Structure 1
Amino acid sequence: MRYRLDVVAPTVLDAVQFAGGWIFDRVMAGWDVTVLIADNADVRPLEILGAVPRDLESVLESWAERPHPQTVAVSADLFSRDERVRRGVVGALDQGATEVTLWGEPLPAELDSSVDSVVHRLSAAARAFKAQALGACGVPDRGVAPVETFSCGMMASVAADLVPAS
């Protein structure tokens, strides 16, 4: 059985910009990474990172039948705007069996006490592939930061790639 990461994002650019390096590093570590996108944009940047893009609406329709991933990563903005996404994240946190990771601001007040700030240090390959994916999104190359910052619930991660932010 392979570990699974589901990334839930409003746009391809949002997923690449805020979690692209982590997505790539998890794929290279042997994880199955699916990015659930709310828009109809070109998904080539996600394919550059090695992720499998899926339409968020179609996945939400069959969410109950979908096997639970070990980790779910969600845009804080989408969490706040979509009640279905919010219910899924809160449910995963309540169950305690799924690592829940959020990026972006503002962090929802209802989650403030159940998540901690963490960082992922990107591999050199992740930085290179993230730069290519950003370029495919039309973002000019300004260099890729060596870390991505998240808020994470359930610190008993199955992977050691997220560490507390200091």
Structure 2
Amino acid sequence: MRYRLDVVSPGVADAVTFAGGWLVDRVMAGWDVTVLIDGAQDVRPLEILGVQTADLQDALEMWADRPHPQTVAVASELFATNARIREGVLNALDHGLTEVTLWGEHCPAELDSTVGWVRHHLSAAARAFKAQALAAIEPVVANGTIGDAEIFRCGMMIRPSVAADLIPAS
């Protein structure tokens, strides 16, 4: 059985910018990673990262029938604006069986007691692939330096996480 990570993102650029290196490292560790996005977008940057893509609305419609992933990563902006995504995140946090990871500049205050700061240290390969994916989005932006880590908020699970790559951020 391969581990699964479903990523719920408002767009390609958001997923690459906030979580691109982590996604590469998960793919290299043998995970099946799928980024769920709305509408027709250029998915080449996500292909560079080695992840699969699917339509977010289709996935939300079929969520009960989809195999449940070990980890769900969600843009905090979608948590705040999409009722179905919000409900899914809260249910996952309540049950504690799926690791829930959020990224973005504004984590909703209602989650402060259930999610903590974590970071993922990027491998050299993750930094290189993320740089190429960013360059495919907007070459001018990609001239910046890729950091050594990506920061997330992560919900605590009832049983130990399968994701040893996320460590508490202090």
TM-score w.r.t. structure 1 length?
0.97
Provide the secondary structure at the position in 2 that maps to 1:48. Answer: helix
In the alignment, is residue 163 of structure 1 matched against residue 163 of structure 2?
no
* Structure 1, unaligned runs of 5 or more: none
Q: Tell me which residue corresponds to 1:17.
A: 17
* Percent identical residues: 67
- Secondary structure at 1:148's aligned position in 2? strand
CA deviation profile, 1:91-143 (whole Å, cap 9, x unmatched): 11111100000001211122110000000000000000000000111133212
- 2:150 corresponds to 1:148: yes
Q: Give, in whole Å, the separation in 1 of the partners of 2:142 and 2:121.
A: 22
Q: What is the aligned partner in structure 2 of residue 35 from structure 1?
A: 35
Q: Secondary structure of the residue that 1:35 maps to in structure 2? A: strand
Q: Structure 2 CA distance, aligned partners of 1:38 and 1:90?
A: 21
Q: Deviations over 1:38-74 (max 9, x none)?
A: 2421001111101001110111111110111000000
Q: How does 1:89-108 map to 2 (within 5 A)?
A: 89-108=89-108
Alignment-derived partner of residue 73 in structure 2: 73
Tell me by how many angstroms 1:157 deviates.
1.7
Q: Tell me the equivalent position of 2:111.
A: 111
Check conservation: 1:7, 1:33, Cα contact below 8 A. Answer: yes
In 2, the alpha carbon distance for the partners of 1:148 and 1:28 equals 17
- Looking at structure 2, the residues matched to 12 and 55 of structure 1 have their Cα atoms a distance apart, in angstroms, of 12
State how 1:23-62 maps to structure 2 within 5 Å: 23-62=23-62
Contact 1:76/1:108, CA 8 A, preserved across alignment: yes
The residue aligned with 2:131 is 131
- The CA RMSD over aligned residues, in Å, is 0.9
For residues 46 and 97 of structure 2, what CA distance do their matches in structure 1 show? Answer: 26
Q: C-alpha distance in 1, partners of 2:19/2:145?
A: 15
> So what's the TM-score if we normalise by structure 2?
0.95
CA contact under 8 A between 1:10 and 1:39: conserved in structure 2? Answer: no
The one-letter code sitting in structure 1 at the alignment partner of 2:116 is D
* Partners of 2:137 and 2:89 in 1: CA distance: 27
Corresponding residue SS for 1:30: coil
Partners of 2:78 and 2:143 in 1: CA distance:
26
